[in-house]
Amino acid sequence: MRYIPTTEEQKKGMLGEIGVSSFRDLIEAIPTDVRFKGKLNVPEAISESELEEKIYRLSKRNADFFPMKPLIGAGAYRHYVPEAEKSLLQREEFWTSYTPYQPELSQGTLQSMFEFQTYIARLTHMDVVIPSIYDGASATAEAALMSLRLTHRNKIIVSSLLHPHYRETIKTYIAPHDTQVIEVWHKDTLLNIEKLKELISDDIACVIVQNPNFFGGIENLTQICEITHSKNALLINAIAESMSLGVLRSPGEMGVDIVAGEAQSFGIDLNYGGPYNGYLAARKQFLRQLPGRIAGETVDVDGKRVFVMTMRAREQDIRREKATSNICSNHGLNILASNIYLSLMGTDGLYEISLLNTKAAHYLEKLLLKTGKFERVFDYAFYNEFLMKSKNSIPTVNRKLLQNNFIPPLEISKFYRGEEFKDVLLFAVTEVLNKDDLNRVAEILSE
């Protein structure tokens, strides 16, 4: 077997050196009656060429996705990933290494974490950044748990326009903690401010708001923050589409306490839902309650500037049940992916792509209205996702789009009940759709 270098002859020799006559002697601690007898019902090994062919064939049972441009986002966005990034990610020193516990052999990983922490701190205007929690949903759930520890309160308020998967994840994480989750139902396409004012009280640990929200709507976080802080609760801002940070006012400038973001848009492919990468960004005073690994700067014995994992007294391998979280392995390689992506895009690139996404989405919205086959359900300020009610049946729309190599938008009634959501679609637009593509979409759907 090509992945196992030891030959049968060598095995015998090694057993001899160990001082046993057979392998069985080494597993004498396993009671014989609990040992597995017989042979696993796992297919016989196949060759590398057969493997490639088999998985290639399986991949062909999917749609031919490369040329299919998504009109759907809802927490996962197809942006172009530059080849320079993909090529760099293939360097084995990055992807075959372990968690950087030994800084002398891990400066590549550690410095990359530190650089990504800098990018996110700058984009969000927050002080400290945890570069990797599994994904946006689990990062948001961790932020919710953090707010309970920080405030010692037992209720949290969650916007109904927080991604449905994120909301469900919070409920799962919070279930053992004797905490009430209160959902604030939206008013049209934004958080219901009046309702929030009614609900905010001294026992609320945090208010969790996604921005842009699940409908693409741009929330007034400054206002939400004032209401939240009036009772000393924490404002947690979930960001499912981090590319929006290129054109929107930063959470830090609007008073947000903790950002729970999904960095998938920064150079991470769709991959049928994962692995992506969640991050947390917070004000400095919350540092010791943050979960997960963080890189910090120090010096080595020669006085060189170097990077290490730091503030480790929060982590499970040191604090065990008193740790701020159980997280150990995270989505580290995706920190590097996003770091390379943001380095390539730079100051202007991130602004321009974010601008392009916003403008292209608004262009499509107007175009769809012109077809006469769609109507606005709500008139609202959105980033790159928007709701549209279809006059044609949804299956017809989906079929037409699929036939023309577009992944259809999200049928919002899958997540939101109510008459107003019947036949309503959530469209998403990114830079992979150029003007011709958008014109083509309108043309197909005007028939």
Pick out residues in 308-347 that bind another protein (CB under 8 A).
308, 310-313, 315-323, 325-336, 339-340, 342-347
> To the nearest whole angstrom, how small is the minimum distance from the Cβ of residue 32 to another protein?
11
* Binding mask of the shown chain, residues 206 to 235, with x at each position contacting another protein by CB under 8 A: ------------xxxxxx------------
Q: Using CA atoms, how far apart are residues 296 and 298, in angstroms rounded to an integer?
A: 7
Q: Which of 102, 180, 201, 393 binds another protein (CB under 8 A)?
A: 102
Minimum CB distance to another protein, residue 364 (Å): 10
- Please report whether residue 293 would count as binding another protein according to CB under 8 A: yes
Q: Pick the stretch among 13-21, 196-204, 225-233, 370-378 that binds another protein (CB under 8 A).
A: 13-21
By beta-carbon proximity to another protein, the closer residue of 103 and 440 is 103
Residue closest to 414 by CA, chosen among 217, 69, 164, 241:
164
The CB density around residue 312, as the number of other CB atoms within 10 Å, is 14
- Provide the mask over 341-380, with x wherever binding to another protein is found by CB under 8 A and - wherever it is not: -xxxxxxxxxxxx-xx-xxx-xx--x--------------
**How many angstroms separate the CA atoms of 309 and 103, rounded?**
8
Q: Does 403 bind another protein (CB under 8 A)?
A: no
Piece of the chain touching another protein by CB under 8 A; list 180-188, 225-233, 268-276, 370-378: 268-276
Q: Which stretch binds another protein (CB under 8 A): 154-162, 196-204, 300-308, 371-379?
A: 300-308
Stretch binding another protein (CB under 8 A), from 35-43, 153-161, 368-376, 416-424: 35-43
**Minimum gap (Å) between residue 302 Cβ and another protein:** 6
Asked if 182 is part of the footprint of another protein (rule: CB under 8 A), the reply reads: no
Q: Hunting for tokens 């949290």 — which residue is that?
A: 156
67 in helix, strand or coil?
coil
Tokens 């010096």 correspond to what residue?
299
Taking the C-alpha atoms of 293, 294, 298 and 302 in order, what is their torsion angle to the nearest 10 degrees? Answer: 50
Nearest distance in Å: CB 400, another protein: 13
Binding segment (CB under 8 A) for another protein, from list 118-126, 147-155, 227-235, 417-425: 118-126
**What CA–CA distance (Å, rounded) separates 310 from 265?**
27
What is d(CA 65, CA 407) in angstroms, rounded to the nearest whole number?
Answer: 9
Count other Cβ atoms within 10 Å, centred on residue 291.
23
Q: Could you say whether residue 93 binds another protein (CB under 8 A)?
A: yes
- Non-local (6+) Cβ contacts of 137 within 8 A are 163, 165, 166, 169, 170, 262, 278
Residue choice 54, 197, 370, 391 for contact with another protein (CB under 8 A): 54
Query: Can you read off the two tokens belonging to residue 55?
Result: 């998985």
Report the alpha-carbon distance of residue 157 to residue 165 in Å, rounded. Answer: 16
